[in-house]
Structure 1
């Protein structure tokens, strides 16, 4: 003899459409674009020069794993290197996702770069901190361009 149990689950949908968070998320998604293996979300418009391949740029950044864990930052004293990060776009000094995601930024612009593994650290991962085949994200701000 078996026992048959019926469970009824009542769920209530909550409407967040008028919330500030929903509005910000919607605005950010409207500013999103996909370039190769990088999803770019513009957080703050810049108003200066536009960065391109061959330019040396100074950046602020915070890197996160998909679960939100911060793995590196040059604005958080916990990581012991609070100073602008300087590199040349397209010179192979950074992961490919940065070369793709930083090109086209204006001075003062803020972006989130969601970078797929092929444009980040791939199958190898990095430093025991970034697992293999990880999609990672960076919140970046372009501080300066040297042409």
Structure 2
């Protein structure tokens, strides 16, 4: 069975340090730059920001699906994703913290929705067992 959707992005130039990322439909068309913390200029986005944005958007969709499955009515959803890049003895590694804020629910429901979303979100599935992930949920 073919995939429901396939994103196609080409990166040219020097990749994360002076490259350019462009999707085949032209919707994404952006320069890439190293962050200042890695000796760059921070003049453009970087792979960690792009990954965090994609994961955050996908995760909120998974929260909404999880809430609907449980017949929980949400009044708001928001997420802040931290994507850390670190260099260790075996090269670069990633770690992430997801800070989910959910309105119209109890704290227990917020925690339940965060864990349910983490089980079904494709980004969460992709990193499971590969990078440390911390989930923080807050009922607002």
Larger RCO (alpha carbons 8 Å, 6+ apart): 1
Q: Which has the larger radius of gyration?
A: 1
Same fold flag (TM > 0.5):
no
TM-score by length of 1: 0.24
TM-score by length of 2: 0.25
